[in-house]
Each structure stands twice: as structure tokens, then as C-alpha cells.
A and B are shown apart, each in its own frame.
Chain A
Amino acid sequence: MKNDFAFKIGTVNGTGSASANGLIMQAIFRMGIPVSGKNVFPSNIQGLPTWYEIRVNGDGYTARAPRFDLVVALNPTTYQRDVAEVRHGGFLLYDSSWPLDPALARDDVSLLGIPFGRMCGEAFEGDRERQLMRNIAYAGALVALLNIDMSVVEGMIREQFGRKPALIDSNFKALRLGYDFATASFACPLPFHLERMDATADYIIIDGNTAAALGCLYAGATVGAWYPITPATSLMEAFKSLCERYRVDRETGQKRFCILQAEDELAAAGMVVGAGWTGARAFTPTAGPGISLMQEFIGLAYYTEIPAVFFDVQRVGPSTGMPTRTQQGDLMSLAYASHGDTKHIVLFPANPEECFSFAVRAFDLAERFQTPVFVASDLDIGMNDWMCRRLTWDDGYRPDRGKVLGAEDLERIGRFSRYLGDNGDAVAARTLPGIDPRGAYFTRGSGHDVHAGYTEDAAAYSQVLARLARKLEQAAAAVPPPVIDQRDGAASAGIITIGSCDAAVREAVDRLRSEGVALDYMRIRGFPFGAEVARFLNDHERLFVVEQNRDAQLRALLAIETGTPRDAMTPILDYGGVPLSAEPIAEAVKSGHELRPANYELTSKGVSSQFTAGRSQPGVPR
């Protein structure tokens, strides 16, 4: 079991454990071993349970681990739950400064007690330092138990506290406390442990929000407007710090960017629309509740044809829901956001690498099609640390500013009509304020004709709206195409997914294929759906759709947009808020049944027959 195991650390939030957990994950990465970390944290600042899950996998699978070989239980209030999550034959490491309730012991789990609290209480001064060093002490124990390279960990501590030797000393001391106790008391390393590899050289560790912020920076976005909301906050914070690094004039201190912290999301959307109308690349990061508040502006931008980029880092549920948990619950509301006839371009990244490239693409599409563009990320992608391929940038890239007329163009064409669309073009050229009086036009959300004049005339209004529909049809060919993994000659069954489900679904597909189940794979990356999507749906008799929401929103969109009957697509759903694992997906495909969380059927049975009516027939696809 070298380089293939998972462990989980349960602590109390606000105690500084996050940096120790990050240290451990990064050390494994630096040992050249593929690793992923998932932070399962509460909506709270201090004092509630929090977990960090680390999966090590030499083959590079990064989906959430289904069970844990080792649980590090440092929060007595969650002992019961933590003990229960250790796999049969696994280990529990706990703080033995206080006796463990014998009722919690499990015959099939080895208990490893280390008195972290007591040791740190004796070795360090002051409550805060004792608390912080207890984290480093458990990191030290893990170094011994998992065979983490101590010199790598020490090197990282030196990098971190380079100019504060006193801190380096206390961290080293705490590391040793845990390490020495573990080596003296247990058979180290444990049966599952690490062994150096060389599989991470071309990779970095990054979260999706930082990657998206980098995308905004590289795309040349100059105006960012926002209102803080988890899990989108770190996107703007990252953009700000990147701008402060790369966009401040060395001599004058002047900034080549303007970040507006708005009074609410509604205002943030208005700012982005105003800046986009003026000709700046502008964006706003938010989550579901913010998207709700932005509805009217989204419709205005669609109808008045103003480029604007929105990042929706999705979280769980309506209202506050579970703000620190992940979901893909906004798919429907993004696709048709706002009132009246609207439809939008939506991009669905699956990892930080795509957050970076899709951010750039979003600005290009927004300006080319003069319309709002959404990047639908989620908390798992946005806030967790992902191992992803090193980002590269093509220095030959030039922003696609779309059709914008300057003074010379206006001179040449004589009369400018904002919404005409020459020669039947779906996209009509626009002008920017401040350039030329001949380009002036009046932007209005009220009915307008091709000359931007007010109208209540049915034909004139319909003409503009029909062109908007054609624009969105054309966008289907311009959004990132789906990723399709299809063996020679289509299998009769296909599995479709979206966004961050990717890692788990791919792992499930690999596993199923190794068991002889023929299955093709498609991951949707853009809306409106392109021709490849419809073709994949057509080419497969049996379809599974994996997504993280209750009502199978992706399936609904596929049915609406392609005409594929809903019942031809078996939903595999998860909406509890934690990232997906491969196992339940593989099981569901094998059984041929739809999958919903266990308690779903209990509540729906007898309440409504609609839930059972669409039930697909069992049968293993071959």
C-alpha cells in the first residue's frame, strides 16, 4: 500500500491547524507523489469542527477518498464520528493527554495515542503558542508514521519563517516532539506509507479561485466589482494581490486596475455592466445568492448587448444553505438567468487549470458576442488545493475585443445603427463612449429597434430578439467543446458529467472498464451545447448523468436543449455538499439504477409518484 491511501485530520477551526495540514500535503507533493487535499470546514470563524482530507495516489487519481486508512482525531467533540470513519483494519491517531472513552474503541482499528497537548504544554509558553505547536507536533508524528521526508518538511519551515529564527526553532522542536514520540512508541512507518516518486515535476498546487484570478489578470481585466461571499471571496482577494504585484507603476505607485467593493451584488453587477459598456474588461465573482440579486442587470446586459463576466463559485442551497460546502445547484438558474427571453453562455471548468483558461475565454466570448458570460465553478474547485499541470501562457495571445467601431470606421460607414448587424451578422458592431460623436447611441432596456430607437412595435422588437437568439446559437460552436473519451466504436452506454465531478467520474470509468464494463465518457464544458454534445447523446442507447444537485439540472438542460427524452438519461446525483468519490458512481452504473442519497427515497416514497415514474430499468450496460 505504498502511495495509495487516504487520511483525515479532524481539528477545531481557528486553531491554526490549516497551515499544518497544508504543510503535510505540500511535503508529499514535493516528494513527487500525486496528492489531493479537501478541506471540509464549517461556516464559522472559531471553535467548530473542521476536517482536512488528504488522498495519496501514485496513479494520479485525485477524487475524494471514499474511506480513510488513518484518522487523526484531535477534536474530542467529533471522536465518535472520527473513529467510525476509519476503515476496517485502519488506524486512529488521537491526543492521549486525556483518556479516550473506552466505549469509542473499535476492535478492528489500531489506536495510536500521543499526548500532544501535554507535551506542548510542557515544552512551550503561552496558550496560543501551545495551541499552534500542537499542530506542528501532529505533523511531526505523521512524518514518522507515513514516512514523509523530514528534510522536505524542515526545508518548508525554513522557507516560511526565513527571517524569524525563533519561530524556526520552536517549529523544529514541535516537529521533533511528535516525531520522536511516534518512532519510540509505534512501528513506524505504518503499513501504508509514502515512497518518493517523480510524478509532480510538471505540476503545481493551486486552488481554482487563484487560478481564475490569474486568468482575469492575464486576460487584461481592469475593473473588478464584488461583494464578499464564500466561496468566491478568495477570487477577488487573489486578483487584488496579483494586481498589486504586477499592475502598480514602480515609480508613481499608480494602479492599472480598479477594484470596487460594492454595497451588494446587485451594485457589483451594475458596475460590471457600466464598465463593460465603456469598454473595459470587467468581472464580478460571486456565489448563488449573489447571482439571485444580479438578475435584473443580467437581463439588461443580455438585451442591451453588453459584455460582462460573472464567476459563480457555487455553494450549497438557496439562501445561506451550507455556504462552506460544494454543489452544482446553479446550472439551470445560470443558463436562463433573468426575466423574459434570455439565455447565456456558461463555461464549466473542472479544475484550476480550466479556471485559468476559461477565465480568459470568458472575456473573449463576452466581447465577441457582446453578452454576459458565466464561469460556473464551485467550492471544491475554487477553495481546495488541487494538483494541476503547470499553467502556461501564449505570449502571442491578443484579446478578442469583438466588433468595436472607431472614428475611421464611423467615417467610412456613414450612418451607425447599433443593433442592425450588417449583412445578416448575428453580432452587431458597437461603439464606446468618449471616442466619436458619430458613434453615439442610446442604450435602453426598453424596447429598441435596430437603430437603438425606442419601440413598442412587435416586428421591430422581434427582429432584435431573433438576432440575439442567433447570436447564442453561434456561441454554441465557440464555447469549449466537451471532453469525450470514447473507445473505438461507441459503446452502447455513455456517462456524462460536468465540472468538479470529473475526477471522480473518470476514476469510476477507469475502474468499470478494467472490470469489463464498456462505457464512453463525456464532460460538458460549455453552454449552449455544441453539436458534439447532441451527437454523443444520440450515439448511446444508455446514458448516465452524474451531477451534484438534487433535481438533475444538467439532465434537464440536456433534455430541453437537445430534445433527448429525460427518461433516456439515468441520473446519478449527490447533493450533500462534499466532493464526490468514484465508488458510488461505479456502483450505480453497475446496478443500472438511478442514485440519490440514501434518505432521499425515504422522504419521496408515497409523497409523489413522479420520483418513481421515471425510474430506469436495472441492467448492467455492456
Chain B
Amino acid sequence: MTSIPKPSVRHPGLPRNALGLTTRDYEGGMSTLCAGCGHDSITAAIIQAVWELDLPPHRAAKLSGIGCSSKTTAYFMRQSHGFNAVHGRMPAVASGVHAANRELVCIGVSGDGDSLSIGLGQLCHAIRRNINLLYVLENNGVYGLTKGQFSASADVGSKSKRGEPNVQPPIDPVLLAITLGATFVARGFSGDKKQLVPILKAGLAHRGFALVDVISPCVTFNDHEASTKSYRFTRGHRHELAPVDFIPLTHEIAAATVPGDPVSVTMHDGSVVRFRSVGEDYDPTDRDAAYAHIRRLQAQGEVVTGLLYIDERAPDMHGVNGTIEEPLTRVPYASLCPGNAALQKLQEEYR
């Protein structure tokens, strides 16, 4: 069973958000992942983020591909429509959803196999198209659901459970996304909810494609000694480059007055992302500098995390297309069909 309905238990003590909902109201079916799987922690972070953002559940659409990671869209937000599509093709489905109804808050969940092998092309093109989508890539270096084969994110030298080393160079989704012109690129760790939640919130507020790569250890197939995607390795090599606070629109004024902000970026809806500390030669709004800096740290064996690059000025897909503000699903038929008189007039040209 992949999703078991959770009994709805009342917890009168739980805090409520502006909609009067508790985090419980944002939960989904019972997870059927292995106990300790990183993906479950990410699910918890997503629940926390949408609860804090007061997101009305029915306004969200959860989209995923296939894999243990992709299954998790069933484990949060049961009051939202969800679509567990086909392996590697969530970006296409998300593009269609976003094209049809631009008001939906699209939350995409994928894995490293789903995104970087079978779905690499779709990921790249969704980035180029800049669809308005939070894309959470739950990265464990293996294909969990098919029992532990190396994925395209496995590092050279990282060993499988049976001791075989990976020899092919990895694809790093963060560097890839920056190269392709992604407008929001971040990396988190499933073991650090405090860092991840504000990143997810900023990603949801971002208008455009927000890639959040999250190192998410697979306890069953890739959490052993010689793995570079294990809890231990990640904790030991994590370099928190750009930790952020996310200040939603309602707190804007307070945020803007904080003195000595190193860098803060105002999002299109007025919310603010405030970087708590960034290195001397690092600017998360400068694409080339961000890329070079991440490469440099990576070469030293560090796993760079944080909100690594952000561009709030680029138009999203609908901005480029010039689509009407109203979702296309709500445009009345009468304003889509030109009618018979126009058809007769048009056909004068076909004679």
C-alpha cells in the first residue's frame, strides 16, 4: 500500500495559521517509505512551509514523476489535487497545468533518477520555459524504488552497498540549473528542516521555476560508510553558503527595516528573502559569480547548501507568452469562439 488514510485526530492544542488550519490539516496519507528515509523529512518541511504561508490547500496542485520520492505527493496536503504522473515527465504535466490555470500553486516533487536520467530533458526545458513551479528534487544518489542502482547524481568513487564504486561523473542539478538560466536555485538537506523551510517558502513565492535540490539519504540502499549521499557524509561536508530568512508580504515593513542586511531580495509579491550571511566574494543575484563560487567549494569536497541563486526580474512562461491574467480555465466560452458571422467573413479569404 502506498497511501493509507490517516485517522483524523483532533489536536486542540496545535497552533493555527491565518486560515485557522493546523499543520495536521496539511498532512496526507500515511507514508509507506522506509523508516528514516530522507524523503519523509522533506515531506514534513513542505507541510511546515505551506502551513506557515497560509496556503489554501485547494489552490495547490501536487505533481510528481515516479520513484520513492515521487510517491510523497500522496503524503502531504490531502485537500489538494495530486498527480503522480509517469517516470521523468512531471515537468511536462506541470507545464500543462500551469498553462491551463496560472493561479494554481504548483508543487513538483521528483527524484534524482526521475530528474537527471529519464527526465533530464524535461527538467532542462521546464527551466528554460520558466514555468511557475516549485521543483523539489529529493536527491539520494540512487534509484530507491528499483532497489539501489546508481543514479546520475552519484559521485565518482561513491560506493554501492555491495562495494562497487561509481565511475561516471555526476550531474549536479544546481550547476545545471544555473547554467540553463534557472531563476531560483537552492540546495538543502533533509536533515536540516530549519534551513529548508524558508527556502521552500521562498521557492513557493518565487514567480518562475524554483529548483530546490535536497540531499535526502536513502537509508536502505545508500546510507553506508562509502556513500557520499549518506547522513554522515552530508553532515560532515555540508557548507551552508547562503542561509536565508523568508519574510512574507504581511511582515514586509518589519523586514525592510532590519539594519545591516547583507543582501535582501524583494519578491514579485512583495515578500522578502533576506540572506543572513554570505561570503565576501559571493553574490546570490549574480549568476556567474554564484556559479564560480559553488564550483570552487565543490572542488574542495564541500556540499554547498542554501539559496544559491535568485533572479526576481525574469518573466515566467505566461509573462513571456503574454497570457491573460485570468486562468484560461475560467475564460468564458463566449470569448473564445468567434461565432458564425466571423467564420463566414473569414471564408471570403478562402475563395
B57→A279 contact, CB < 8 A: no
Q: With CB as the reference atom, state the residue of chain B lying closest to A243.
A: B336
Q: A341 on the interface (CB 8 Å rule)? A: no
6 nearest A-B residue pairs (beta carbon): A274-B96, A270-B92, A280-B100, A433-B81, A437-B79, A274-B93
Pick the residue among A254, A277, A437 that contacts B322 (CB under 8 A).
Answer: A254
Assembly CA distance A290 to B228 (angstroms):
40
A246→B338 contact, CB < 8 A: yes
B100→A275 contact, CB < 8 A: yes
Pick the residue among B322, B335, B351 that contacts A253 (CB under 8 A).
Answer: B322
Assembly CA distance A29 to B91 (angstroms):
48
Chain B: how many interface residues by the 8 Å CB criterion?
A: 65
Known contacts A264-B121, A270-B93, A300-B86, A391 near B347 by CB under 8 Å: yes
- Central interface residue in A205, A259, A266, by most chain B CB within 10 Å: A266
A392→B343 contact, CB < 8 A: yes
B338→A217 contact, CB < 8 A: yes
Q: List 7 A-B contacts (CB under 8 A).
A: A220-B337, A222-B328, A271-B92, A274-B83, A275-B96, A275-B100, A437-B79
Q: B59 on the interface (CB 8 Å rule)? A: yes
A393→B343 contact, CB < 8 A: yes
B86→A297 contact, CB < 8 A: yes
Known contacts A263-B122, A278-B61, A434-B101, A254 near B325 by CB under 8 Å: yes
Provide the residues of chain B in CB contact with A395, threshold 8 Å: 339-340
Interface flags for B315-333 (1: CB within 8 Å of A; 0: not) read 0001001111101110101
Assembly CA distance A300 to B84 (angstroms):
10
Known contacts A30-B351, A205-B350, A434-B103, A275 near B335 by CB under 8 Å: no
Q: With CB as the reference atom, state the residue of chain B lying closest to A274.
A: B96
B95→A271 contact, CB < 8 A: yes
Interface flags for A426-450 (1: CB within 8 Å of B; 0: not) read 0000011111111111111110000
B323→A270 contact, CB < 8 A: no
Assembly CA distance A567 to B321 (angstroms):
55
Provide the residues of chain B in CB contact with A205, threshold 8 Å: 350-351
Q: Shortest CB–CB separation between residue B202 and chain A, in angstroms?
A: 23
B residues with CB within 8 A of A: 1-3, 5, 29, 56-61, 63, 73-74, 78-86, 89, 91-101, 103-104, 121-122, 124-125, 129, 318, 321-325, 327-329, 331, 333, 335-340, 342-344, 347, 350-351
Pick the residue among B59, B84, B95, B98 that contacts A443 (CB under 8 A).
Answer: B84
Provide the residues of chain A in CB contact with B58, threshold 8 Å: 433-437, 439-440
Known contacts A255-B321, A445-B84, A223 near B336 by CB under 8 Å: no
Provide the residues of chain B in CB contact with A392, threshold 8 Å: 340, 343-344
B342→A271 contact, CB < 8 A: no
Q: With CB as the reference atom, state the residue of chain A lying closest to B82.
A: A442
Q: A249 on the interface (CB 8 Å rule)? A: yes
B85→A270 contact, CB < 8 A: yes
A433→B61 contact, CB < 8 A: yes
Assembly CA distance A433 to B95 (angstroms):
15
Q: With CB as the reference atom, state the residue of chain B lying closest to A444.
A: B84
Assembly CA distance A373 to B329 (angstroms):
20
A442→B331 contact, CB < 8 A: no
A256→B335 contact, CB < 8 A: yes
B331→A256 contact, CB < 8 A: yes
Q: With CB as the reference atom, state the residue of chain B lying closest to A441.
A: B81
Known contacts A255-B324, A262-B125, A398-B333, A29 near B92 by CB under 8 Å: no
- Central interface residue in B92, B103, B331, B342, by most chain A CB within 10 Å: B92
Q: A532 on the interface (CB 8 Å rule)? A: no
Pick the residue among A276, A297, A300, A394 that contacts B340 (CB under 8 A).
Answer: A394
A residues with CB within 8 A of B: 29-30, 203-206, 214, 217-220, 222-223, 225, 246-247, 249, 252-260, 262-264, 266-280, 282, 296-297, 300, 390-395, 397-399, 431-446, 453-454, 456
Q: Shortest CB–CB separation between residue A498 and chain B, in angstroms?
A: 26
Pick the residue among A269, A437, A453 that contacts B92 (CB under 8 A).
Answer: A269
Q: With CB as the reference atom, state the residue of chain B lying closest to A271.
A: B96
Assembly CA distance A273 to B95 (angstroms):
10
Assembly CA distance A17 to B104 (angstroms):
50
B81→A247 contact, CB < 8 A: no
Assembly CA distance A255 to B322 (angstroms):
6
Pick the residue among A203, A296, A391, A443 that contacts B81 (CB under 8 A).
Answer: A443
Assembly CA distance A272 to B92 (angstroms):
9
Provide the residues of chain B in CB contact with A444, threshold 8 Å: 74, 83-84
B84→A274 contact, CB < 8 A: no
Q: With CB as the reference atom, state the residue of chain A lying closest to B2.
A: A454
Assembly CA distance A225 to B99 (angstroms):
10
Known contacts A279-B101, A437-B58, A442-B3, A274 near B350 by CB under 8 Å: no
Provide the residues of chain A in CB contact with B95, threshold 8 Å: 225, 260, 262, 267, 270-271, 274
Provide the residues of chain A in CB contact with B351, threshold 8 Å: 29-30, 203-205
Pick the residue among A259, A264, A278, A398 that contacts B100 (CB under 8 A).
Answer: A278
Known contacts A434-B103, A454-B1, A258 near B61 by CB under 8 Å: no
Provide the residues of chain A in CB contact with B325, threshold 8 Å: 254
Pick the residue among B5, B59, B342 that contacts A246 (CB under 8 A).
Answer: B342
Q: Shortest CB–CB separation between residue A263 and chain B, in angstroms?
A: 4
Assembly CA distance A390 to B328 (angstroms):
30
Assembly CA distance A214 to B74 (angstroms):
40
Q: Shortest CB–CB separation between residue B152 and chain A, in angstroms?
A: 18
Provide the residues of chain B in CB contact with A440, threshold 8 Å: 57-58, 78-82
Assembly CA distance A282 to B92 (angstroms):
13
Assembly CA distance A540 to B129 (angstroms):
56
Assembly CA distance A222 to B80 (angstroms):
24
Assembly CA distance A210 to B2 (angstroms):
46
B96→A278 contact, CB < 8 A: yes
B59→A434 contact, CB < 8 A: yes
- Central interface residue in B63, B98, B124, by most chain A CB within 10 Å: B98
Provide the residues of chain A in CB contact with B329, threshold 8 Å: 222, 278-280, 432, 434
Assembly CA distance A29 to B329 (angstroms):
41
Known contacts A29-B351, A437-B57, A443-B81, A223 near B331 by CB under 8 Å: no
Q: With CB as the reference atom, state the residue of chain B lying closest to A433.
A: B81
Pick the residue among B73, B100, B324, B344 that contacts A279 (CB under 8 A).
Answer: B100
6 more CB-based (< 8 A) A-B contacts, given A263-B122, A393-B339, A435-B58: A280-B96, A433-B104, A437-B80, A440-B80, A442-B84, A453-B5
Assembly CA distance A433 to B82 (angstroms):
9
Provide the residues of chain A in CB contact with B322, threshold 8 Å: 253-255
Q: With CB as the reference atom, state the residue of chain A lying closest to B102.
A: A258
- Central interface residue in B318, B323, B324, by most chain A CB within 10 Å: B324
Q: With CB as the reference atom, state the residue of chain A lying closest to B94.
A: A274
Provide the residues of chain A in CB contact with B321, threshold 8 Å: 255, 258-259
A433→B101 contact, CB < 8 A: yes
Q: With CB as the reference atom, state the residue of chain B lying closest to A247.
A: B336
Provide the residues of chain B in CB contact with A246, threshold 8 Å: 338, 342
Provide the residues of chain B in CB contact with A259, threshold 8 Å: 321
Q: Shortest CB–CB separation between residue A291 and chain B, in angstroms?
A: 16
- Central interface residue in B61, B122, B351, by most chain A CB within 10 Å: B351
